[in-house]
Amino acid sequence: MAERPVPEEKRVFMTGNEVVAYAALAAGAEIMYGYPITPQNEIMHYWTRLAPRFGRGFLQTEDEISAGFATLGGVLAGRRAFTGTSGPGHILMQEPMAMAEMMRLPMVAVIQQRGGPSTGTVIYSQQEVTMTVSGGNGEGLRIVYSTARHQELYDYTIKAFNTAWRYRFPTFVLGDGYQAKMREILTIYPPGERGIEMVAGEPYLVGPGEPGTDRPPVHLRNTYNVEEELNATVMELIRAYQAAAPEIAEYQESGTGDAEVVVCSHGVVSRVVEEAVRELRGRGWKVGWFRPVTLRPLAESGLKAVAARAGRLLVVESAHGQFARLLKEVLYGSPAVLETMFKPGQGFTVEEIVARVKEVARGGRS
């Protein structure tokens, strides 16, 4: 293709769904499979308008089960294939995602969380955390980037394709309805100009050569006869995941050195938390923030270090403890006190977080 989707670095003002479509194009994603559900629809809308110009494919499937399995088909063919979904559609997609875990298929999925349970709202939540990190009948052998702003949505959508193909685990960009629908400013760029080399796809099936003559046939197995066989396979997957985890895990923190209260959040909530902490710092409060960028694998050592220094952690999320549970698993045995601020399906304002942090810092409980 002569024309490149993102020919040069450019400051733009767009919605998050548009950002995802451009990032996927810039990352060299070759085909998208999707099914309509709010609030991720515009990923498909932008993709279907842009993709044909750059020789990329699209298929609107009959449901999310099919979108997920067709994405696996695309991956098996060696293409950078991806999908996007939300809420009830995300529930249906757990089935192909489980297969991706078992067979280490590098599917990429962008999840724009909406309110739940069930059909909930089409607006916003952080209630798809548990499902994204550990949905399906498996061990959660997934990589999950939780983005906070459009720049990250662009950066991590590109990165998701590389992480998926480098480590061969299903990789997710966890956004939400706010990020999907809101417009803000970011800089888009061709990955190569930032020194990002895209990891090439590689066919699992129908690669070069005649099976049975030039090479043995590839038989990808997904069903096992005896417990021992399955256990051995799963343990091998787990060991591979654990070996890769430290390279993959990412987090950010600020002010945690002397903080008496560290506010923990992820995704879009963390930008509100950052502002609240900045305000409080300005007024002399000893507070900081900690934000995992990868919810799975979690940056365990970073979190433990922060918890060991601060007496109190305040977990803020737009769900009722789904993110907090991930932290608790790592913090088991830590003397740090875990306070919470849960608003399932609702966003936060700076003011209310400031008020809650003060309360926690004074030792009060909600």
Using the rule CB under 8 A, is 88 a contact of other proteins? no
Cis peptide bond upstream of 39, omega within 30: yes
Which one of 48, 121, 130, 252 is in contact with other proteins (CB under 8 A)?
Answer: 121
Residue 163: name the closest of 144, 146, 149 by CA.
Answer: 144
Q: Residue 95 has which token pair?
A: 């089935």
Told to check if 330 binds other proteins by CB under 8 A, we report no
Which range of residues in 178-186, 243-251, 310-318, 326-334 is near other proteins by CB under 8 A?
178-186
Binding residue for other proteins (CB under 8 A) from 93, 99, 108, 324? 99
CA distances from 114 to 177, 319, 322 (A): 6, 11, 14
Which residues fall within 8 angstroms of residue 326, CB to CB, at 6 or more apart?
A: 129, 133, 292, 295, 296, 298
* Binding range to other proteins, per CB under 8 A, among 45-53, 59-67, 289-297, 306-314: 59-67
**Smallest separation, CB 214 to other proteins (Å):** 8
Q: Is 137 in the site for other proteins (CB under 8 A)?
A: no
Nearer to other proteins, 34 or 297 (CB): 34
Q: Is 38 in the site for other proteins (CB under 8 A)?
A: yes
* Residues in contact with 13: Cβ distance below 8 Å, sequence separation at least 6, in sequence order: 183, 184, 185
66 sits near other proteins (criterion: CB under 8 A): yes
Smallest distance from other proteins to CB 117, Å = 16
| CA 221 to chain centroid | 27
Question: Which CB atom, from 109 or from 245, has the smaller least distance to other proteins?
Answer: 109
* CA pair distance 182, 41, nearest whole angstrom: 14
Both structure tokens of 216: 């043995």
Stretch that binds other proteins, among 44-52, 67-75, 138-146, 167-175 (CB under 8 A): 67-75
- Choose which of 138, 311, 344, 347 interacts with other proteins (CB under 8 A): 347
Binding residue (CB under 8 A) for other proteins from 203, 246, 257, 364: 203
Q: How far apart are CA 95 and CA 22, in angstroms?
A: 27
Segment 206 to 225, residues that bind other proteins, using CB under 8 A? 206-207, 209-213, 217-223
Overall size of the chain counted in residues? 366
Compare residues 121 and 334 and give the one whose CB is closer to other proteins: 121
Q: What b/e sequence results for 244-279 when a residue is b if at least 16 CB atoms lie within 10 Å of its CB, and e otherwise?
A: bbeebbbbebbbbeebebbbbbbbbbbbbbbebbeb
142 scored as a contact of other proteins (CB under 8 A): no
